[in-house]
Chain A
């Protein structure tokens, strides 16, 4: 299954049928290697935490017109910085594209293996984590 989410002009659309917003997702949940995803949305904020950091962003549900929030997990700050990411590269409202894998539980969560920044810079991050250890 491949889900592609693309920016449509000023409006942001996505083609995901169901959005199980309330599905519980624990940190130990794993991602689905068969569910690759590319999403474009509006950057909200970043959590620079270990063992994984998080990018929060919103996309607009074309069915309802409502903005829904997604979270993309990334490697920890050290790995992000070594890959070339800097906090000042992202500002609220920036349009960003993230590629990676969807959570197995169907929640609004993905693992982010690549980010495209507003200036066109593309930075590859760690591929899907093998397990839940903080050693990432």
Chain B
């Protein structure tokens, strides 16, 4: 019992996933069906350090120069946050912004459609290699299954996005590995390993719980990013 319990704790989400068998799509009995509308808690994207599971001190292992830039970012976040300028939010930030996203699953690719500002990701599942000749705001996503966990390798980022509202950021050397594991009928464990040799001294990891919106009328709506311009100057705005 003691050994089993320790294993469950150390194994984290993987151990839980073994207890829960996720539903399957009719055309794929071997892998979980991740389809549906998912969302993280609204505050996760405020400060991603709070979701760190490695290192244990919950601090992003910035290189000294990068740590200084984070302070500058934080001091000027209202103006400098790329999301406040209506740019695409990057990955993984897109996944834990305060907007739901819908997963559509096919044998060849898995599509993530975010409610946020017509932003979508196509995760190719056919074993094809990364596009490595062009930087993307959301990176280039290639996925595969490890048991019941969807593992997505994301590369080829630009250096224009942040990781949260607090000013945490990365360079174009960012490498993101996402792990999606259904842990219950309405829960999903989103674990992300983040590395970037130009910004971090070592890789670090976050874990964000996601919740399925399975209400009968659940649907994505539309969110257009409108610039922060005055609505009506005469109203004191």
Interface residues of A (CB under 8 A from B): 21-25, 27-28, 47, 49-51, 54, 56, 69, 71, 76-78, 81, 107-109, 130-136
Contacts and interface: CB of A to CB of B under 8 A. Distances in A.
B226 A135 contact: no
Nearest to B97: A135
A133 B78 CA distance: 7
A54 B222 CA distance: 18
A75 to B, nearest CB: 10
A100 B98 CA distance: 21
B224 A50 contact: yes
A135 B77 contact: no
- Pairs A-B, 5 closest by C-beta atoms: A107-B236, A27-B228, A78-B221, A135-B98, A50-B226
B4 interface: no
Interface string B68-82: 000000000111010
A134 B84 contact: yes
Which residue, of A22, A23, A54, A132, has the highest number of chain B Cβ atoms within 10 A? A132
A22 B236 contact: yes
Interface residues of B, number: 29
Contacts, number: 73
Given A51-B228, A54-B237, A133-B83, 14 more contacts: A25-B236, A27-B228, A27-B230, A28-B78, A50-B224, A71-B232, A71-B236, A107-B236, A108-B236, A130-B43, A131-B165, A132-B78, A132-B84, A133-B77
28 contacts: A22-B236, A24-B236, A25-B237, A27-B228, A27-B229, A27-B230, A47-B231, A50-B223, A51-B228, A71-B236, A71-B237, A78-B99, A81-B221, A108-B235, A109-B236, A109-B237, A130-B43, A132-B78, A132-B84, A132-B228, A133-B77, A133-B81, A133-B84, A134-B86, A134-B226, A135-B45, A135-B98, A135-B99
Contacts of A69: 235
Interface string B98-140: 1100000000000000010000000000000000000000000
Contact of B115 (A21, A22, A28, A78): A78
Nearest to B89: A135
Contact of B225 (A24, A81, A108, A134): A134
Nearest to A21: B236
A43 to B, nearest CB: 14
A136 B98 contact: yes
Given A21-B236, A76-B223, A135-B83, A54 B78 contact: no
